[in-house]
Structure 1
């Protein structure tokens, strides 16, 4: 079974974190949420508190197939300040595992020097923070094992791209049918 981890930081964008959890579980992926804070309860930028499955500090989480970094303010900044998360993101990219970043989260990856020369998209408010990238003005951009998206309104499309990267088009079509997207 494929495994995915979704990182939760104070101020994360609720729909950008929970939509991947939902869609990936429908695809048959084992998904866990990871708190980078001192409590399992993490509050979104919308003021909704979610209980993470585990603490990021519990282990290395290198056994996953996908790492998801949601945006949201100040969530993506908190993710970017966490050296452990940035090290894990680098590991996923280098090992050919899938890394998903949406909204402001690509700017955290850029700040850590992980996006040079990559095709990416992001929320328009952080575009200038991306540095030396091939910026693509699309809803979702897949560049090898890196999947980026623009923001909350594209959470479902982003999540479907993540699901397809881990499973297959056939599995994804069944999930879409069940979600009445077809």
Structure 2
């Protein structure tokens, strides 16, 4: 899995991690110099990241989310990247968010 993530990052493909998962990207050096967020107790494990208190952070091809409470915003950011903002906004309206 580590090799897959490293190759994906190297190719500039979208990488998304929420809660504790950004710490894996940090451990692999993928977050070096990148803005990111994660569950508060994992901040020290997000090696190399420029940490933010925001619920969702995108830096280039990397999207990170703080935790379960950010899941909807996190999902919408992914939709924005895979489709477009209009589609993400439509999803928010459909789920009455």
Question: TM-score w.r.t. structure 1 length?
Answer: 0.51
Greater helix percent: which structure? Answer: 2
1:58-137 to structure 2, matched below 5 A, reads 85-137=1-53
Q: CA RMSD in A?
A: 1.2
**Shift of the alpha carbon at 1:137?**
1.2
Aligned residues: 97
Alpha-carbon separation, structure 1, partners of 2:83 and 2:62: 16
**Shift of the alpha carbon at 1:132?**
2.0
Alpha-carbon separation, structure 2, partners of 1:149 and 1:174: 21
**Shift of the alpha carbon at 1:148?**
0.2
Q: Does 1:168 align with 2:90?
A: no
Greater strand percent: which structure? Answer: 1
Q: Which segments of 5 or more consecutive residues in structure 2 lack a partner in the other structure?
A: none
Structure 1 counterpart of 2:61, from 105, 127, 145: 145
**Shift of the alpha carbon at 1:92?**
1.8
Q: Which position in structure 2 is the counterpart of 1:178?
A: 94
**Shift of the alpha carbon at 1:173?**
2.1
**Conserved? CA contact 2:38–2:65, under 8 Å:** yes
Question: TM-score w.r.t. structure 2 length?
Answer: 0.91
